[in-house]
Amino acid sequence: MHHHMQQAGITQYLEDDTVTEIMLNPDGQLWIEAFGQPMRCCHVVSPDDALRIIHAIADCHHLIIDRQHPLLECELPLDGSRFEGLADPVVAQTSFVIRKKATRVFTLDEYVEAGSLSPAQYDAIVALILAHRNIVIVGGTGSGKTTLANAVLAKIADCFPDERFIILEDTNEIQCQAKNFVVMRTCDKAGISMQTLLRATLRYRPDRIIVGEVRGGEALDLLKAWNTGHPGGVATIHADSARLGLDRLEQCISEVAVTINHRMIAATVHAVVFIKKTAEGRKIQDVVEVQDYHDGHYRFHT
């Protein structure tokens, strides 16, 4: 597989620490996105090379990619990056996206240097960290939520080197630089859901509870965990603005609860950080503190 990647000119981007995503379109154009930069087209990959790559990856996982099985979702054997591939008849020619697993963590200072985070926003995030506030990072698909979460965790570990981090994930993406941490991952085959992990977490003596991505009813378990003596957590969730982040959290909770305790959400989620993919690259748009819930609305302080 490494040979096929090299032949297609992809290896150089897998080895580049600044590259976060590698995207091959059906027309053969290879696009990359690097930290603090917009997407750019690098070169063209032949259909044969693309097909060899996706078949080699499928073989490593003992899977099949053909007309009856045209979708391949897995981790890249080379480095654990997330791989999503499509083949005929779903697409005209082989296409895939590699969301690279971080090999190094970009710091909040580097976000400022890249123009992705303003000095005022930096100060606000650091103040939240020092105060042990719970932070939800919000953004659309591919907006850089996990990369930002890694930067926030690095700052927490720097400020509180003796704290214990428990990290819960569906896929292997969070990078923790703390001395004392445990990573737990869901396992569909074993019936281990995010909710199961959150309940186990409380018996693991956490100082900080981190959830890679909130997708469903585990949102309620997370809020309960944060609200029972484990402040200063971090989680990410899909939404298109800071304010919509709490709406999305409500939707997740509604999967397991008949009524929504808005005041508990407002009291437990202390701040929302919204990151967005722009033409100039990924940028933090908002860092807002959640004040309370009043007259049917969450009130925020920017």
Pair 281, 243: CB distance under 8 Å: no
Q: Where does the chain hold its CATH 3.40.50.300 domain(s)?
A: 108-301
- The residue whose two tokens read 């437990």 is 268
> Residue-wise over 11-40: b if at least 16 C-beta within 10 A, else e?
eebbeeeebbbbbbbbebebebbbbbeeee
Mean pLDDT, residues 189-214: 93
Sign of the torsion formed by the C-alpha atoms of 271, 160, 214 and 274 = positive
What confidence tier does 188 reach under pLDDT thresholds 50, 70, 90? confident
Write out the CATH class of domain 2-99. alpha beta
Sign of the torsion formed by the C-alpha atoms of 35, 37, 39 and 40 = negative
Q: Say what the pTM is.
A: 0.83
Pair 152, 197: CB distance under 8 Å: no
Give the three-state DSSP class for 274: strand
Of 297, 218, 302, residue with least CA distance to 263: 297
List pLDDT tens digits, range 93-121. 999 999 988 777 899 999 999 999 999 99
What integer best gives the mean pLDDT of the chain? 93
List pLDDT tens digits, range 207-233. 999 999 999 999 999 999 999 889 999
Q: Where does the chain hold its CATH 3.30.450.90 domain(s)?
A: 2-99
Q: What is the CATH number of domain 108-301?
A: 3.40.50.300
